[in-house]
Structure formats: C-alpha cells, structure tokens
Amino acid sequence: MSVTSRRWAALLALSAVSLAACSAPAPAPPPAAASPVAASERADFEQLERAFGARLGVYAVDTATGREVAFRADERFAYASTHKVFSAGGVLQRTPVAELDRTVTYGQQDLVTNSPVTEKHVATGLPLRAVMDATLRYSDNTGGNLLFRELGGPEGLNAVFRGIGDTTSHADRIEPELNDTFPGDLRDTSTPRALAVSLRAFALGDALPEDKRKILVDMMRANTTSDQNIRAGVPGWAVADKTGTAAYGTRNDIGVVWPPNRAPIVISVLTDRAEKDAKIDNKLLADATAAAIKALP
C-alpha cells in the first residue's frame, strides 16, 4: 500500500460511521448518525436541514489539529461536477508539465450543455492546460469530458480514486448524464468524508508533486462558480474549491480554505432534496460552511 493510500485509509478511519449508501433524500431526513460534533453543533446542522428542506452532508478537518466536524459524512450523494477536481488531478498525475501545452482537438459533436469556453474553440482546439482551466474555473462540461477522454473514461477516474486509496467514490458516466441522478442511485456518488479526504490528497498532500499541485490549486482558487457557497461562509479567506449541481436539488461544494495565519481547513458540503426539479439554494452551503468552521476550535 502506498504512503498516500495508508494516509487516506488512516484519515478515513478516524471517525468512520456506518455507511448509508442508499439513503434517499427527503425534506425531513431521519436523524443523522452519531458523528464527532457536539450535540449543539449537530443541532445546528439539523436546523439547517429543516429550514431549507434538504438533506445536508458536511465533513471538515483542520489540517493543523486533526479536529473534525462530520454530519451525515458517510452518506452517499451525487458528486456532480465536483468530480472535475479529480479528473484534472488524474490528468496532471500522468502528464508532464511541458505537455500541458499540447493541443486537444474536438468536434461540434463533442459539445454538451454548459460549455462556455470550449464551445468557442471548436475550430482550433485548446491546450490541455486551458481545458483544465475551463473545467475547473467555469465548470465547462465539454472540458470535463475531454479530461475523461484523457483518462480513458469513467473507469480511468475510478483508477485515479483507487490510486489514492479512495474506495468510496465511484464514477460511472460522463457529462451531462452523470447529473441525472435519483434517490438511491449509487452511480456517480461519493460521501462528504471521502471527497474531502481525496481533495486533501490532491490539493495539500502527495498525490501530486509540488509544481503540479500548484497548477491545480491556482485554478481552483480562480473558480468563478462558487462565490455564494463555501466562499460566502468564510468571507475574506482564501478558498480553492469546486462546485457541482445535479437533479433533485443537488448542490455541492468541496474546497480548501485558508484562515488568516492558520493551517488550511478542508471542507465538503453536499446537499440534495426530495423532488427531482427542486431548486438549489446556495445559502444552505454558505450557512453550513459557517457552522462547520465555527465548530472547529
């Protein structure tokens, strides 16, 4: 087992609770399993669920102290576009930095919805670095699929997950089909804990060498889709994150936040609702982020 895999397994075991893999989202979910948060903090998250009519999953870890906050941290949620962090990370793992300027070509038939950058460059293609930038900063879906292509499809992303010891996250489809989720669907899902631990491996750990890690984190710091989510919960802090949106009101954000003069905190906030066409509410993610940070000393 690699050093990264051992670290991932150790982190995952710190406060593991029973996995609720097939839990269906509902406006008033059953009580969350016991987790390493005080009763008052757990009550804060439960109140957010009631107020927003959503299921909420949160996992945060202070990388300096190891202190954790977890609420429904081992329940499965559709990961939506948060996968793009790991697709980009996997491509960086296998690609020398000098080759990031290689042009990636694609056709009109490859374009899918929500592709604001790639749709403008069909004739010329884009450097691989620009494809990653579009995917992480603008959540460009065609860019996400081009990264899937670099990895060999969802199976390649699964190999990336397994390579860092993540046996929980599971990739099955590409964009935009992976967002067509429903209650109990295990495809294209993960847990708040697993996504946060995997993000930590890529953004702060040894899943990437320092130069490639900087490329990934810099792109995530420049994310344009998250001002109302994690960033709104920690105003004024540096944040590197990736959002995601899918059916059943799924709205997610995973990120690394840097408090002033402190070590970074890794946080994952995943949400969904009972109705397929339910609207998302970014304020739930912002409020959950603020509650999680408050719970960390």
Ranges of H-type helices in 204-280 = 210-221, 230-233
Residue 76 to residue 105: CA distance in whole angstroms = 35
Per the CB < 8 A criterion, the answer to whether 131 and 105 are in contact is no
Instruction: Indicate which residue of 175, 198, 226, 268 is catalytic.
Output: 175
Residue 60 to residue 259: CA distance in whole angstroms = 13
Q: First and final CA of the chain: distance in angstroms?
A: 33
Is 177 noted as a catalytic residue in this protein? no
Residue 59 to residue 70: CA distance in whole angstroms = 4
Residue matched to tokens 């339910």:
278
Q: What are the Cα distances from residue 31, in Å, to 49, 92, 193, 250, 296?
A: 10, 40, 18, 20, 22
Instruction: Indicate which residue of 15, 23, 35, 81 is catalytic.
Output: 81
Q: Quote the longest CA-to-CA distance of the chain.
A: 57
Ranges of H-type helices in 165-229 = 192-203, 210-221
Is 175 noted as a catalytic residue in this protein? yes
Q: What are the Cα distances from residue 187, in Å, to 12, 77, 241?
A: 21, 10, 23
Give me the active site residues, please. 81, 175
